[in-house]
């Protein structure tokens, strides 16, 4: 038996726009309200909780002993669960950076922002946080520059990466 013989055709009449506008047919309008819920997971939840306390936490891989910041539940090199929490410093070194004169809406900025990957002291090499640099002129930023976190006041922290306002040159 051919596939086309299995398909049933249902006769009908195409609705025209004039029939719909004249309300010759029942039309129901319904707006769906979708509510989403998600979790950041065990590793990132603990990381964010630490930020609200002014602390940066990483997870250590039991096999290769790397300290992962931001933490991950599994080591991406060894494919094993990470299981030991390690508090690291809120200082680091600029791994790479970019100076931007453009806002996220593509409008021109009067004062540039500096975005950098900061390798965190106490984390394994190459473990960095993408964040802002401030309190420095863009022409003075260098790869390898030592920086420190500038935190929001404790009362204004909310358990987000923005609890670190920015990184500045270490004093």
The overall average pLDDT reported for the chain is 91
Rg, C-alpha atoms of the chain: 27
Residue ranges covered by each domain of the chain: 41-169
**What single string gives the DSSP state of each residue in 11-76?**
---PPPHHHHHTT-S---------------HHHHHHHHHHHHTT-EEEEEETTT--EESS--SB-T
Q: How confident is the model at residue 9 (pLDDT cuts 50, 70, 90)?
A: low
Q: Which residues pair with 97 in a beta bridge?
A: 116
Closest C-alpha among 39, 36, 42, 15 to residue 27: 15
In words, the CATH class of domain 41-169 is mainly beta
Q: How confident is the model at residue 58 (pLDDT cuts 50, 70, 90)?
A: very high
pTM over 0.85: no
More confident residue, 106 or 21: 106
Residue 70 pLDDT greater than 80, yes or no: yes
The position carrying tokens 């920086």 is 147
C-alpha 67: how far from chain center: 19
Angle of CA points 152, 87, 72, to nearest 5°: 95
Q: Cα separation of 165 and 129, whole Å?
A: 13
Could you read off the pLDDT of 113-131 as tens digits, one per residue? 999 999 999 999 988 999 9
């Amino acid at each position: 038996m051919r596939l086309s013989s299995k398909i049933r055709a249902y006769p009908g009449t195409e609705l025209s726009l004039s029939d719909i506008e004249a309300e010759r047919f029942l039309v129901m309008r319904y707006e769906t309200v979708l509510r989403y819920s998600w979790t950041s997971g065990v590793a990132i939840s603990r990381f964010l909780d630490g930020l609200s306390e002014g602390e940066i936490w990483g997870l250590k891989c039991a096999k290769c002993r790397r300290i992962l910041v931001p933490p991950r539940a599994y080591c991406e090199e060894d494919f094993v669960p990470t299981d030991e929490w390690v508090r690291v410093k809120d200082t680091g070194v600029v791994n790479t950076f970019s100076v931007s004169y453009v806002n996220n809406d593509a409008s021109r900025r009067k004062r540039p922002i500096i975005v950098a990957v900061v390798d965190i002291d106490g984390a394994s090499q190459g473990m960095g946080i993408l964040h802002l640099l401030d309190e420095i002129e863009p022409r003075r930023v260098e790869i390898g520059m030592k920086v420190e976190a500038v935190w929001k006041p404790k009362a204004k922290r909310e358990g987000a990466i923005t609890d670190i306002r920015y990184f500045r040159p270490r004093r």
